[in-house]
């Protein structure tokens, strides 16, 4: 492998119709750099940033991914640096008159014979880890629960070697909120469905304060918890296991801790009896998202994830993509790929709901792209969206989830969530993922305590510097050392290894995880 700095000037053009391309070389290129086809830079261009492949007049369309990502605000000669300050952003596509289920991609050949070792649950779902999760109805109990969890880890967990971890599902919801407002269903069902994530084995236990608005029965009404085999024949319903801190029986802080630990031990014993078994790859439920993106995200990591997404669909698995604000500008590509008019209409409904939500807050559409995105070469949300959508691969979109809903089908699903990394991850957990794929270009140490997160670097430079945080280096695609297909297969195989517990992700190794962040569009009181 040649040293990155000695490589000849290289640009990457995505589509033949594009009039801009991005500079691939580490450290960028200086004025005068000459590409193999004779193009000469007339500006210094940082790595990942765009160069004009043709003379652009003021007002000319700037085309990347064969999509207009902006208009030149001044004349830009061939070889110029094309960045956000010389571009005007196009308006978002209207939600009327979109193509509905017009594209019928050729059926992908089934992928058979791939398996992993997972924990089969009573409801049929499969976990990739064996974790005791302690649900909380309200933030008030977070400190007590965390205290108890530390003692459970130190004193109880060693007695149950088949249990991987104990996780407190801490959040900021539960009281001081408009709990009867129509949109309150979103945070409530998110918490409910996270408690039922396949990695928790159906062993639900709740810590409640007592006086909060979100009462345990409201969070988990009778009938929502599947009955595990261990409860035996004849069980008709699982009674909700609640430790209520305000219960009269509690005298002193330690009596609360004792109650939580006593109940935890019951669930730990049942979890400890579980064993991994060989299950088909179709039992994977994978959430994909990106964060800290750069111009390489849409060239290396996201296309490789898109290829792996197709492999998952071919294997009969469930894979979901999300991040409404980052696909909104490509909605026409998505509605045309819907498997049915109903799926396309559901997607439009989610986009319209989100448009209204953003409008209520008078959101500046240009504010999605962060300073880091722009530094990495992504000029605006349109360019970012095109690079984000490729994570969804090429399969038909067969289902749509509203925020916080649980997935109940196989195939490629659009799970509507905000693009915020932590909120998207939280909502995908509620949707029932047992594995999370996260691509990053700028770099983020993102992780979740509840499911393994496989992180994919978009550039070799990041993969080298963050060698003990990034699990896969998709930058090899830009270096010419691997193809999109190579990295896609590597990722698919790594997913089976990680889901089986044969490999740990770097985030798991270092125990890095972010907080659960609920999406609450309803008022706080």
Q: What angle do CA 412, 66, 301 make, to 5 degrees?
A: 50
**Closest residue to Ca ion, based on beta-carbon distance:** 291
Query: Which tokens in the block code for residue 461?
Result: 């430079």
DSSP 3-state of 437: strand
Which residue stretch of 188-196, 341-349, 412-420, 480-488 sits at the interface with Ca ion (rule: CB under 5 A)? 412-420
Least distance to Ca ion, CB of residue 289, Å: 5
Q: Which of residues 168-187 bind Ca ion (CB under 5 A)?
A: none
Query: Which tokens in the block code for residue 306?
Result: 């898109």
Which residue stretch of 61-69, 244-252, 282-290, 374-382 sits at the interface with Ca ion (rule: CB under 5 A)? 282-290
Q: Does 426 bind Ca ion (CB under 5 A)?
A: no
Least distance to Ca ion, CB of residue 421, Å: 4
Least distance to Ca ion, CB of residue 322, Å: 8
Number of residues in the chain: 525
Phi then psi for 120, rounded to 5 degrees?
-75, 130
In whole angstroms, give the CA distance from residue 334 to residue 391.
12
Q: Does 79 bind Ca ion (CB under 5 A)?
A: no
Q: How many beta carbons lie within 10 A of that of residue 123, not counting itself?
A: 13
Which residue stretch of 18-26, 200-208, 263-271, 415-423 sits at the interface with Ca ion (rule: CB under 5 A)? 415-423
Which residue stretch of 205-213, 248-256, 393-401, 419-427 sits at the interface with Ca ion (rule: CB under 5 A)? 419-427
Site string for Ca ion, 198-217 (x = CB under 5 A): --------------------
In whole angstroms, give the CA distance from residue 56 to residue 78.
7
Q: Select 329 or 421, whichever has its Cβ closest to Ca ion.
A: 421
Least distance to Ca ion, CB of residue 437, Å: 12
Least distance to Ca ion, CB of residue 486, Å: 25
Which residue stretch of 260-268, 286-294, 307-315, 447-455 sits at the interface with Ca ion (rule: CB under 5 A)? 286-294
Least distance to Ca ion, CB of residue 422, Å: 9
- Which of 89, 71, 90, 59 minimizes the C-alpha distance to 20? 71
Q: Select 310 or 421, whichever has its Cβ closest to Ca ion.
A: 421
Q: Which of residues 314-373 bind Ca ion (CB under 5 A)?
A: none
Which residue stretch of 28-36, 285-293, 294-302, 441-449 sits at the interface with Ca ion (rule: CB under 5 A)? 285-293
Q: Select 72 or 419, whichever has its Cβ closest to Ca ion.
A: 419
Q: Select 21 or 419, whichever has its Cβ closest to Ca ion.
A: 419
Q: Select 130 or 324, whichever has its Cβ closest to Ca ion.
A: 324
Least distance to Ca ion, CB of residue 305, Å: 13
The residues, ordered by sequence, that sit 6+ positions from 200 with a Cβ below 8 Å of its Cβ are 127, 131, 132, 133, 450
**Cβ pair 224, 123 in contact under 8 A:** no
Count of positions on this chain that bind Ca ion (CB under 5 A): 4
CA distances from 320 to 312, 399, 482, 507 (A): 10, 9, 25, 21
In whole angstroms, give the CA distance from residue 275 to residue 444.
33
Q: Which element (helix H / strand E) includes 373? A: helix 371-375
Least distance to Ca ion, CB of residue 388, Å: 8
Q: Select 195 or 373, whichever has its Cβ closest to Ca ion.
A: 373
Q: Does 291 bind Ca ion (CB under 5 A)?
A: yes
Query: Which tokens in the block code for residue 36?
Result: 């193999």
Contacts 24+ apart (CB under 8 A), 410-413: 410/282, 410/316, 410/317, 410/318, 411/313, 411/318, 411/319, 411/339, 412/309, 412/313, 412/319, 412/320, 412/321, 413/318, 413/319, 413/320, 413/321
Least distance to Ca ion, CB of residue 424, Å: 5
Least distance to Ca ion, CB of residue 417, Å: 9
Q: What angle do CA 217, 448, 196 make, to 5 degrees?
A: 30
Which residue stretch of 284-292, 348-356, 399-407, 458-466 sits at the interface with Ca ion (rule: CB under 5 A)? 284-292
Tell how strand 50-52 and strand 20-23 pair up: antiparallel
Q: Select 421 or 490, whichever has its Cβ closest to Ca ion.
A: 421
- Out of 212, 294, 421, 471, the residue judged to bind Ca ion by CB under 5 A: 421
Least distance to Ca ion, CB of residue 317, Å: 21
Least distance to Ca ion, CB of residue 403, Å: 14
Side by side, the strands of the sheet bearing 397-401 are: 397-401, 411-415, 318-321, 285-290, 435-440, 453-457, 472-473
| Residue 397: half-sphere exposure toward Cβ, Cα within 13 Å | 35
Largest Cα–Cα distance of the chain, in whole Å?
82
Q: Select 125 or 426, whichever has its Cβ closest to Ca ion.
A: 426
Least distance to Ca ion, CB of residue 380, Å: 16
Which residue stretch of 82-90, 210-218, 289-297, 455-463 sits at the interface with Ca ion (rule: CB under 5 A)? 289-297
Least distance to Ca ion, CB of residue 190, Å: 17
In whole angstroms, give the CA distance from residue 191 to residue 185.
10
- Out of 125, 190, 195, 289, the residue judged to bind Ca ion by CB under 5 A: 289
In whole angstroms, give the CA distance from residue 215 to residue 427.
21
Q: Does 259 bind Ca ion (CB under 5 A)?
A: no
Q: Where are the alpha helices (DSSP H) in 405-466?
A: 421-431, 460-465
Q: Select 228 or 417, whichever has its Cβ closest to Ca ion.
A: 417
Q: Does 294 bind Ca ion (CB under 5 A)?
A: no
Q: Does 419 bind Ca ion (CB under 5 A)?
A: yes
Which residue stretch of 42-50, 248-256, 281-289, 307-315 sits at the interface with Ca ion (rule: CB under 5 A)? 281-289
Which residues of this protein are in contact with Ca ion, per CB under 5 A?
289, 291, 419, 421
């Amino acid at each position: 492998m040649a040293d990155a700095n000695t490589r000849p000037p290289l640009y990457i053009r995505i589509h033949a119709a594009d009039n801009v391309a991005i500079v691939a070389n580490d450290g960028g290129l200086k004025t005068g750099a000459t590409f193999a086809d004779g193009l000469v830079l007339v500006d210094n261009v940082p790595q990942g940033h765009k160069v004009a492949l043709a003379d652009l007049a003021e007002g000319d369309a700037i085309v990347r991914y064969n999509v207009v990502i902006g208009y030149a605000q001044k004349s830009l000669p061939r070889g110029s640096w094309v960045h956000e300050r010389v571009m005007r952003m196009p308006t978002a596509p209207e939600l009327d008159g979109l193509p509905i289920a017009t594209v019928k991609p050729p059926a992908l050949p089934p992928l058979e014979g791939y398996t992993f070792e997972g924990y089969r649950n009573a409801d049929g779902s499969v976990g990739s880890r064996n974790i005791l999760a302690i649900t909380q109805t309200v933030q008030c109990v977070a400190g007590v629960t965390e205290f108890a969890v530390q003692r459970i880890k130190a004193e109880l967990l060693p007695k149950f070697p088949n249990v991987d971890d104990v996780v407190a599902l801490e959040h900021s919801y539960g009281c001081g909120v408009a709990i009867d407002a129509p949109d309150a269903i979103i945070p409530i069902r998110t918490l409910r469905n996270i408690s039922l994530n396949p990695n928790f084995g159906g062993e639900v236990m709740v810590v409640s304060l007592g006086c909060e608005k979100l009462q345990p029965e409201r969070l988990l009404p009778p009938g929502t918890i599947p009955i595990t085999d261990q409860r035996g024949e004849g069980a008709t319903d699982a009674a909700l296991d609640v430790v209520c801190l305000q219960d009269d029986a509690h005298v002193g802080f330690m009596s609360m801790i004792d109650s939580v630990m006593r109940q935890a031990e019951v669930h730990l014993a049942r979890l400890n009896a579980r064993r991994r078994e060989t299950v088909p790859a179709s039992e994977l439920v994978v959430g994909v998202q990106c964060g800290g993106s750069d111009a390489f995200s849409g060239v290396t990591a996201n296309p490789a994830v898109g290829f792996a997404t197709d492999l998952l669909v071919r294997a009969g698995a469930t894979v979901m993509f999300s991040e409404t604000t980052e696909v909104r500008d490509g909605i026409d590509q998505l509605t045309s790929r819907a498997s049915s008019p109903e799926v396309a209409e559901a997607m439009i409904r989610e986009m319209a709901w989100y448009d209204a939500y953003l409008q209520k807050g008078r959101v500046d559409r240009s504010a999605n792209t962060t300073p880091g995105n722009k530094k990495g070469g992504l000029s605006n949300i349109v360019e970012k969206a095109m690079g984000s959508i490729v994570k969804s691969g090429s399969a038909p979109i067969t289902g749509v989830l509203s925020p916080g809903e649980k997935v109940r089908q196989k195939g490629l699903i659009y799970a509507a969530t905000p693009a915020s990394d932590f909120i998207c991850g939280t909502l995908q957990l509620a949707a029932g993922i047992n594995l999370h794929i996260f691509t990053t270009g700028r770099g983020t140490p993102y992780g979740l305590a509840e499911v393994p997160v496989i992180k994919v670097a978009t550039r070799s430079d990041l993969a080298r510097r963050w060698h003990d945080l990034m699990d896969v280096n998709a930058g090899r695609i830009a270096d010419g050392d691997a193809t999109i297909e190579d990295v896609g297969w590597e990722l698919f195989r790594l997913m089976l290894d990680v889901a089986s517990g044969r490999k740990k992700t770097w985030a798991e190794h270092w125990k890095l995880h972010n907080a659960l962040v609920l999406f609450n569009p309803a008022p706080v009181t």
